[in-house]
Structure 1
Amino acid sequence: MSIAHNAQDHDVVSKLRDAGLRPTRQRVALAELLYSKGNRHISAEGLHEEAILASVPVSLATVYNTLHQFTEAGLLREVAVEGTKTYFDTNTTEHHHFYFEDENRIVDIPDSDLSLINLPTPPEGTEISRVEVIVRVKKLGENTVLAV
């Protein structure tokens, strides 16, 4: 993979610098993979597989570290589905997700499809920093009858 040789690479380098991260070769290569396909959700293992296929020499540990650095810098949003399933979202705006249990994937819920009302009062000395809804879905079984 070419590093910092085209306009997209320059945008990635600027994005990293603007976030306060040094644009190392591995960070730039991983950022190119992350942001070249628009908004998406990806696991560390999925990004590592993409890196290997793109001939980016990087360990899984480095991918994890880089994803967490990007998250801390505000370039990604971490979405924890279960204790062992974490996805990284390139869309850092406030939004919610469907989690497809049968497919181990998440997709955004359109903003117009969900409204939150009557949030609880946070404990004294705290404030709500973010509300995140994950709606778990699975495919209907062949014998499932839908009520009409």
Structure 2
Amino acid sequence: MQTNANEPMSPEAQNRGTKWLNRAGVRPTRQRVALAALLVGDGQNRHVTAESLFAAAADAGERVSLATVYNTLRAFCEVGLMQEITVDGSKSYFDTNTHDHPHFFWEDDGRLSDAPADQLTISNLPEAPEGTEIASVEVVIRLRKI
């Protein structure tokens, strides 16, 4: 995430962030609006970690704790504004694109990006055990430089 150090977020970015929160019925507190503006203020989808969003907030001059960033990202996921993608069972990335789509995980720099969904075909899934249903299928394609 790129922001200019200590440069306040534009009113347009804050407005877009507030509208994003309102669509999901999330109360737009100052910190939530600031984080939402960083996430969707430019109209682009992005993948962030709590740490990268915390750093972007600090760069934008926003005072917010890392714990608040974690809690806010989880709250955004709970209301469907974002989805969490876990890599290696421990590293969480948060994606503002909530449509089903595959991801590339770039091992060399620990980055997550969208993979072209139109190039992926899943032809068969196993049947879910009795009394369960498949809630989602996550596809993470790991890449490394050769």
TM-score (norm 2): 0.88
What is residue 84 of structure 1 aligned with on the other side? 90
Deviation at 1:44, TM superposition (A): 0.4
Deviation at 1:137, TM superposition (A): 1.2
Q: Aligned runs of 1:80-119 on 2, under 5 Å?
A: 80-119=86-125
For the Cα contact (< 8 Å) 2:14–2:41, is it kept in 1? no
Over the aligned positions, Cα root-mean-square deviation in angstroms equals: 1.4
Identity %: 51
| 3-state secondary structure, aligned to 2:70 | helix
**Alignment pair present for 1:16 and 2:21:** yes
Structure 2 gaps of 5+ residues are 1-7
The one-letter amino acid of 1:18's match is: R
Q: Aligned runs of 1:52-91 on 2, under 5 Å?
A: 52-91=58-97
| 3-state secondary structure, aligned to 2:67 | helix
Deviation at 1:18, TM superposition (A): 2.2
**Alignment pair present for 1:34 and 2:63:** no
Structure 1 gaps of 5+ residues are 141-148
- State the structure with more CA Rg: 1
The one-letter amino acid of 1:75's match is: L
The one-letter amino acid of 2:27's match is: R
Deviation at 1:13, TM superposition (A): 1.7
TM-score (norm 1): 0.87
Query: Number of residues paired by the alignment?
Result: 138
CA deviation map 1:18-38 (0-9, x unaligned): 212110000000000011241
What is residue 143 of structure 1 aligned with on the other side? none
- 2-side partners of 1:111 and 1:100: how far apart? 17
Q: 1:55 to 1:8 in 2, by over 3 A?
A: closer
Deviation at 1:7, TM superposition (A): 4.1
The one-letter amino acid of 2:87's match is: V
- 1-side partners of 2:15 and 2:107: how far apart? 37
CA deviation map 1:15-58 (0-9, x unaligned): 21221211000000000001124111110000000000000000
Q: Which has the higher contact order (CA 8 A, sep 6+)?
A: 2
